Structure 1
């Protein structure tokens, strides 16, 4: 997702991939999110889960799963 949102060709590829997954009742996880603009675009395209340095550097899983994924929900990574 690094060229998003500026590169229209990559945007079209990501959009069609998300649409295909949704048509097959599959969940989509986007990795490598580094900016708010990338996150906003992927959310608007229907991506279900986002992860990357924009939300935080790698940390122990317990930090993310405490209190029903509270930290992840606050960052809109889990719905």
Structure 2
């Protein structure tokens, strides 16, 4: 992943935290679906689930901040 500037990192953290509705430090499928559908209302739940699975690099059923950064930057 490219070097992220401190101000960009702060913005990413705010974006992550705004998606993490229960503030547990992870984004679950429901939270990620809400995010994706707010960005593109035409996405189906199946499309959101597929995007979640692709973003959840370690397959633990949750998206970490690091995984979120990779998704957000398109890496």
More strand by share: 1
Per the TM superposition, whether the score is higher than 0.5 is no
Larger radius of gyration: 1
Q: TM-score under structure 1 normalisation?
A: 0.31
